[in-house]
Amino acid sequence: MTSPAAQTVSEGAGDGVPHGRLPRTLLTALAPLTWGTTYIVTTELLPPGHPLFAGFLRALPCGLIALAIARTLPRGAWWWKAAVLGVLNLGLFSALLFTAAERLPGGVAATLAAAQPLIVAVLAVALLHESLSAWRLAWGVTGVVGVGLVVIGPNAGLDAVGIAAGLGSAATLALGMTLTKRWGRPAGASVTAFAGWQLTAGGLFLAPLTLLLEGSPPAIDLTAAVGYLWLSLVGGLIAYVLWVRGVTSLPVASVAVLVLLSPLVAAVLGAVVLGQTLGPVQLVGFGLSLAAIVAGQLPSPAPRSPDSAATPTPKETPR
């Protein structure tokens, strides 16, 4: 029988990346890739002035669908744990993110959100008892710089409340991801059930905020219906199930850096669909961001032992 340590070594042999992680990583990456379509769907298909309503529809309906499919409810302490995760990962995160999007240029908001891997690297020290990795921090900074080069225009304005909301959204999602990793998924609960608990809790959190801040729902025509269905079924149910599966089964720092894919997808769609220009600076930013994403999937380099460096290589004894 192969020991867990031997299995880990065999999976990582060759290139330093566990081969068994690659399919899960690619599936998890589909979530931020899908979320990258949110901006163009919101601006081109949805009625303006109702961002919280969009967040509400992305959470609660698909959360209820997930519960109907899984037919599993939380037990014991998981009632409040699921509520906390739902508020952090979906409810409060969406409220802060949309506030930042309304008060800041989209590029500034996206760059602030890209700080999430850095926050996860710090939280992992306190909550997961991991050592602070200079490798993770360096590539986290690289990812923020890369996204900034891609999406921040020359006339980007700053707003104190918007900046606080943008950083708050990154910190909220980072805390939610780290707690998800710390608590794990309860025994007997499928990934669909676990995601459904959080989606439902996040939607219930957003419901009163939506009514209080936006009033009655907007009129929904066929175009808006298509947009809301995409956000709810694809960007909500399918993407979040894949995301929860990745967070619970992969290293949290490796998953966190995948969020950099969202602003990159948004920039590509802006260029292809809306005719926005991507110049040399943006292309450099793409390269830095993609390098940070790839590096985030690799293990941190092991520090070189002083003893091994000082010990000379034994020579063969002459015969």
CA distance 197 to 88: 13
The pLDDT assigned to 5 comes to 36
What confidence score (pLDDT) does residue 130 get?
84
Element housing 106 (H / E): helix 106-113
- Cα separation, 121 vs 134, in Å, equals 9
Give the end-to-end CA distance of the chain in Å, rounded to a whole number: 42
Separation of alpha carbons 20 and 140, rounded Å: 24
Burial of 157 (0-12, 13-18, 19+ CB in 10 A): exposed
**How many angstroms separate the CA atoms of 61 and 71, rounded?**
15
Q: What is the pLDDT of residue 316?
A: 46
Angstrom CA distances, 179 to 121, 171, 283, 299, stand at 13, 12, 35, 21
pLDDT digits (tens, 9 = 90+) for 140-184: 888 888 888 877 665 555 677 878 888 888 899 999 999 999 999
Give the chain's residues under pLDDT 50.
1-16, 308-310, 315-319
Could you please report the per-residue DSSP string of 136-161? HHHHHHHHHHHHHHHH--TT----HH
CB 227 within 8 A of CB 51: no
Q: Is 284 exposed, middle or buried (0-12, 13-18, 19+ CB in 10 A)?
A: middle
Mean pLDDT over each residue of the chain, to the nearest integer: 82
Q: Which residue ranges make up each domain of the chain?
A: 20-299
**pLDDT for position 7:** 37
Sign of CA dihedral 53, 57, 61, 67: negative
